[in-house]
Amino acid sequence: MDVTEDSVPVVETTTPQANGDGKFLNHNGIVQPLLTDLYQITMAYAYWKSGRIKDVAVFDLFFRQNPFQGEFTIFAGLDECLKFLQNFHYSDSDINYLRHTLPPSIEEEFFVFLRKLNAHDVTVYAIEEGSVTFPRVPLMRVEGPLIIVQILETTLLTLVNYASLMATNAARYRLAAGKKVRLLEFGLRRAQGPDGGLSASKYSYIGGFDGTSNVLAGKMFNIPVKGTHAHAYISSFSNFSDLQSKQMLMDKNTGKERDMLELAMQWREPLSELLDIMPDEASEGELTALISFAIAFPEGFIALVDTYDVKRSGLLNFCAVAMALNDLGYRAIGIRIDSGDLAYLSNKAREVFNKVAEKYNLPWFSTLQIMASNDINEETILSLNEQNHQIDCFAIGTHLVTCQRQPALGCVYKLVEINGTPRIKLSQDVVKVTMPGRKNAYRLYGADGHALIDLLQKSEECPPEVGVRVLCRHPFQESKRAYVIPTRVEPLYKEYWSKGEIRAHLPNLNEIRLRVQNSLQTIRQDIKRNLNPTPYKVSNIKTFS
């Protein structure tokens, strides 16, 4: 039932809430400086002890491989990172814990240093949240005093990794389902912890979902919340006596109360004939439950129809109640199917709705919503598409929120420059070699509006120019090269944080959500497809010619 479709205005409400100091807060109170690996603090001490408090460093935050065997990734979590930077400081209780946890040989002055530490000298350049991104192109470039930029590593990774994984997963479901189908996130109960659930709701909305079942996510982020009833609701009713005589509903046409049980029972007979369903086979408990739910939500009646048997009970009972509601001037919304062959059952349901629509000349009955919700993943949707399903809305839980196909994104945070000198992490594994130095990134577009390549170059180099031919080489395979003449050049980085302040507009959730869809539109279809997608090109060597 779309209980919020009309009642909640979805505008501007995800703008971050500022606290009393004018600072923005992370959505979860446990996002704090100690939410980090201990080695960040031990390294900080060793740097401090070595006298390296004035050293400055540049770190790149990036991933090496797209998730889900795909060829793109949606960047998310930046907003939370910036709020974390804004609030970064160790409390007295943090310092006290560290003092008792680190070895007694730690000099007291280090704790004084930590107590005063903040992120004001850090500068963060980042790609816009909600953008499509690709392997090895840093999502964020974090610069500043070595000690603090090192300390930020774990928390920034925690805030970006799952957020981006989740937004990417959601965007893939959206691509699979197409634009017309509604997608709802129903995963809270199976999520990895309470915040796994809350983050899943937030970032699946960003990725292209239309709503969530998670009420707290609705309250905190103003995401539309949706929900109907569970099998337990249906099976808690045995027979008409469970209505306890509460079976009256106001007729919108006359303003008088009418008996919904009586009306529904009147409709059961002609409908059972029309639909060729034996009324005796339909469950009385189910009919009772649906009547009670319709009385509670006459304007938002969606019925779960598979508790007993969709074809022999659920559809007949739903239609009887929907027609009774119609008598009183209300239009039912639709049904939910939570088990069985969803392609077949959705077609069966549509057939039933069409018959009723035709027989009683109620065209809207043909367009009743069919929601499906049983263990759905990206592949299920693609398979249902091939079977010409009649589903209007998917409610998706476990596979969406836990990203079952790949439950972690491998973002890393690598030192690329120290005191102006580029650093390289060597590795026997060539894909693990990092690109040294402070870099900028540009996305080059072709004449048809599609992105052609992402170009990484040293930050002191001149940016590529529109209409000027660029020779782009593969970062690790010298032989792979391509000439590109960009029609448009997009600098990917903006300065988001410097001198202790957020420097760019922080978009709200709906703006980020729109950015995802717009950004995806600039990517060629073959890069986005589910099966054997084409890799997008990223180059770190260019020659103008």
CB 537 → a second copy: shortest distance, Å? 27
Number of residues that bind a second copy (CB under 8 A): 120
In angstroms, the CA 527 to CA 530 distance is: 9
* Choice from 25, 357, 418, 506 touching a second copy (CB under 8 A): 418
From 125, 134, 173, 186, residue interacting with a second copy (rule: CB under 8 A): 186
Residue placing its CB nearer to a second copy in the complex, 121 or 195 = 195
Q: Look at strands 470-473 and 481-484 and give their pairing.
A: antiparallel
Smallest gap, in angstroms, from Cβ of residue 290 to a second copy?
10
CA distances to 40, 44, 156 from 37, in Å:
6, 12, 12
Q: Which of 20, 22, 50, 276 binds a second copy (CB under 8 A)?
A: 50
- Which CB atom, from 273 or from 281, has the smaller least distance to a second copy? 281
Query: What residues have CB less than 8 Å from 464, skipping those under 6 apart?
Result: 442, 444, 455, 470, 486, 489, 542, 544
Only one of the segments 14-22, 411-419, 458-466, 507-515 lies at the binding site for a second copy (rule: CB under 8 A); that segment is 411-419
Token couple for 326 = 């119609």
What gap in Å lies between CA 243 and CA 246, rounded to an integer? 5
Query: Which residues neighbour 195 within 8 Å (Cβ) at sequence distance 6 or greater?
Result: 28, 30
Query: Which listed residue (21, 22, 92, 100) binds a second copy by CB under 8 A?
Result: 100
11, 112, 230, 278: which one contacts a second copy (CB under 8 A)?
Answer: 230
Range 233-262, binding a second copy (CB under 8 A): 233, 235-236, 238, 242-246
Per CB under 8 A, 360 contacts a second copy:
no
Among 195, 251, 284, 392, contact with a second copy (rule: CB under 8 A):
195
Of 379, 529, 380, 407, nearest in space to 67 by CA: 407
By CB under 8 A, the residues from 441 to 500 that bind a second copy are: none
272: phi then psi, degrees, rounded to nearest 5: -65, -35
Nearer to a second copy, 29 or 363 (CB): 29
Q: Which of 415, 444, 484, 509 binds a second copy (CB under 8 A)?
A: 415
Q: Measuring CA to CA, which residue among 411, 417, 412 is closest to residue 143? A: 417
Query: Environment class of residue 404 by beta-carbon count within 10 Å: exposed (0-12), middle (13-18) or buried (19+)?
Result: middle
CA-based end-to-end distance of the chain: 60
Residue whose CB is less far from a second copy, 130 or 298: 298
Told to check if 13 binds a second copy by CB under 8 A, we report no
The answer to whether 318 contacts a second copy (rule: CB under 8 A) is no
In terms of CB distance, is 232 or 462 closer to a second copy?
232
Nearest to a second copy of 169, 519 (CB atom): 169
Residues in 382-401 that interact with a second copy by CB under 8 A: 398
61 binds a second copy (CB under 8 A): no
Whether residue 117 contacts residue 145, with contact meaning beta carbons closer than 8 Å, is answered with no
Note the residue count of the chain: 545
Residue 94 touches a second copy, criterion: CB under 8 A:
yes
Of 54-62, 355-363, 386-394, 501-509, the segment contacting a second copy by CB under 8 A is 54-62
Task: Choose the binding region for a second copy from 45-53, 354-362, 471-479, 492-500 (rule: CB under 8 A).
Answer: 45-53
Q: Is 314 in the site for a second copy (CB under 8 A)?
A: no
**Is residue 194 at the binding interface for a second copy, with CB under 8 A as the rule?**
yes
Distance in Å, CB of 524 to a second copy, minimum: 30
Rounded to the nearest 10 degrees, what angle do helices 153-177 and 78-87 cross at?
160
Q: Is 15 near a second copy (CB under 8 A)?
A: no
Tell me the window of 129-137, 269-277, 343-351, 421-429 that interacts with a second copy (CB under 8 A). 421-429
The rounded distance, in Å, linking the Cα atoms of 263 and 240 is: 13
Three-point CA angle 502, 35, 59, nearest 5°: 55
CA-nearest of 174, 134, 132, 71 to 521 is 132
Among 10, 52, 490, 506, binds a second copy (CB under 8 A): 52
Q: List the one residue from 426, 430, 462, 531 that touches a second copy (CB under 8 A).
A: 426
Q: Which amino acid is at 451?
A: A
Position 145, amino acid: P
Residue 153 tokens read as 């590593």
CA angle 6, 511, 61 (to 5 degrees): 140
- 23, 49, 494, 505: residue in contact with a second copy (rule CB under 8 A): 49
Q: What does the alpha-carbon distance between residue 39 and residue 361 come to, in Å, rounded to a whole number?
A: 71
In the complex, the smallest distance separating the C-beta of residue 144 from a second copy, rounded to whole angstroms, is 14
Determine which residue in the list 11, 12, 18, 39 makes contact with a second copy, applying CB under 8 A: 39
Question: DSSP letters along 404-466, please?
Answer: TT------EEEEEEETTEE-----SSGGGPPPPS-EEEEEEE-TTS-EEEEEEEETTSPPP-T
- In the shown chain, the binding pattern of residues 136 to 175 toward a second copy, with x for contact by CB under 8 A and - for none, equals ----------x---x--xx--xxx-xxx------------
Please report whether residue 431 would count as binding a second copy according to CB under 8 A: no
Q: What secondary structure does DSSP assign to 67-119, as a single string?
A: STT-S-EE---HHHHHHHHHH----HHHHHHHHHHS-TTS-HHHHHHHHH--S
Site for a second copy in 200-219 (CB under 8 A): 200, 213-216, 218-219
Contact call for residue 423 and a second copy (CB under 8 A)? yes
Binding piece for a second copy, criterion CB under 8 A, among 22-30, 350-358, 450-458, 527-535:
22-30
CB 94 to a second copy: min, Å: 7
Nearer residue to a second copy within complex by CB, 54 or 179: 54
Among 35, 275, 433, 506, binds a second copy (CB under 8 A): 35
